[in-house]
Amino acid sequence: MAQVPVTEGVFTWPSESPQLIGSRCVTCGNHMFPVQQGCPKCTGAETAEVLLGRRGTLWTWTVQGFPPKAPPYAGDVDPKTFKAFGVGYVELPGQLKIESRLTEADPEKLKIGMEMEMVIVPLSTDADGNEVVTFAFAPVA
Amino acid sequence: MTTEVAIVGIGMHEFGRTEGVSGMDQGVIAVRRACADAGVSWEDMQFAFGGSMAAGAADTMVSLLGLTGLQFINVANGCATGGSALFSAYNTIRSGVFDLGIAVGFDKHERGAFRVNTKGSGLGDWYGASGLALTTQFFGMKINRYMHEYGISQSTLAKVSEKAFRNGAINPMAWRRKPISEEEVLNSAMLSYPLTQYMFCSPGEGGVALILARADKAHLYTDKPIFLKAAVVRSRRFGSFEVLAPSIALEHNAGPTVDASKAAFEMAGMGPKDMDLAQLQDTESGAEVMHMAENGFCEHGEQEFMIQAGETEIGGKFPVNTDGGCLANGEPIGASGLRQVYENVLQLRGQAGARQVPNDPKTAYTHVYGAPGISGVTILSR
Q: Please answer yes or no on whether B126 and A30 come within 8 Å at the CB atom.
A: no
Tell whether the model's pLDDT for residue B117 goes beyond 90: no
Gyration radius of chain B's alpha carbons: 19
Residue-wise pLDDT tens digits, B327-336: 999 999 999 9
pLDDT band at B371 (very low <50, low <70, confident <90, very high): confident
> Lowest-confidence range among A51-55, B86-90, B342-346, B370-374?
B370-374
Mean pLDDT of B273-291: 97
Domain borders along chain B are: 5-111+201-381
HEC readout, B119-148: CCCCCCHHHHHCCCCCHHHHHHHHHHHHHH
Burial (CB < 10 A; 0-12, 13-18, 19+), residue A108, is exposed
Q: What is chain B's mean pLDDT, rounded?
A: 95
Residue-wise pLDDT tens digits, A86-121: 999 999 999 999 999 999 999 999 999 999 999 999
More confident residue, B331 or B123: B331
Q: Please answer yes or no on whether B130 and A123 come within 8 Å at the CB atom.
A: yes
Specify the pairing of strand B5-16 against strand B71-74: unpaired
pLDDT band at B79 (very low <50, low <70, confident <90, very high): confident
Torsion of CA B76, B82, B85, B90, to 10 degrees: -160
Q: Which residues of B touch A64 (CB under 8 A)?
A: 131, 134, 137, 192
Give dist(CA B304, CA B231) in Å, integer.
29
Contact by Cβ (8 Å): B286, B159:
no
pLDDT in the model for residue A141:
80
Q: Please answer yes or no on whether B133 and A73 come within 8 Å at the CB atom.
A: yes
With CA atoms as reference, report the closest residue to B334 among B88, B84, B81, B87: B81
- What is the dotted CATH code of the domain comprising B5-111+201-381? 3.40.47.10
Which stretches of chain A sit within 8 Å of chain B by CB?
A: 6-7, 10, 22, 30, 32-34, 40-41, 59-66, 68-69, 71-75, 85, 87-89, 91, 94-101, 107, 112, 123, 132, 134-135
Give dist(CA A113, CA A90) in Å, integer.
9
> In chain B, pLDDT over 90 holds for what percent of residues?
92
Q: Per DSSP, what are the bridge partners of residue A22?
A: A50
Residue-wise pLDDT tens digits, B141-156: 999 999 999 999 999 9
pLDDT in the model for residue B195:
98
ipTM value > 0.90: yes
Residue-wise pLDDT tens digits, B41-56: 999 999 999 999 999 9
Specify the pairing of strand B226-235 against strand B247-248: unpaired
Tell whether the model's pLDDT for residue B1 goes beyond 90: no
Which stretches of chain B sit within 8 Å of chain A by CB?
A: 112-113, 115-116, 118, 124-134, 137, 140-142, 144-145, 148, 189-195, 238, 245-250
Burial A49-67 (b: 16+ CB within 10 A, else e): ebebbeebbbbbbbbbbbb
CA dist B264 → B45, B132, B189, B296, B365 (Å): 27, 34, 38, 11, 10
Mean pLDDT of A59-85: 95
Q: How far apart are the first and last CA of chain B?
A: 21
pLDDT in the model for residue B191:
97
Contact by Cβ (8 Å): A89, B248:
yes
Tell whether the model's pLDDT for residue B66 goes beyond 80: yes
HEC readout, B318-365: CCECCCCHHHHHCECHHHHHHHHHHHHHHHHHCCCHHHCCCCCCCEEE
Give dist(CA B362, CA B366) in Å, integer.
14
How many CB atoms sit inside 10 A of residue B227's CB?
17
Residue-wise pLDDT tens digits, B100-110: 999 999 999 98
pLDDT in the model for residue B8:
98
Residue-wise pLDDT tens digits, B216-249: 999 999 999 999 999 999 999 999 999 899 999 9
Shortest distance, CA A141 to any CA of chain B (angstroms): 23
Mean pLDDT of A16-20: 95
Q: Which residues of A touch B131 (CB under 8 A)?
A: 64, 68, 73-75, 85, 87, 101, 123
Q: Per DSSP, what are the bridge partners of residue B183?
A: none
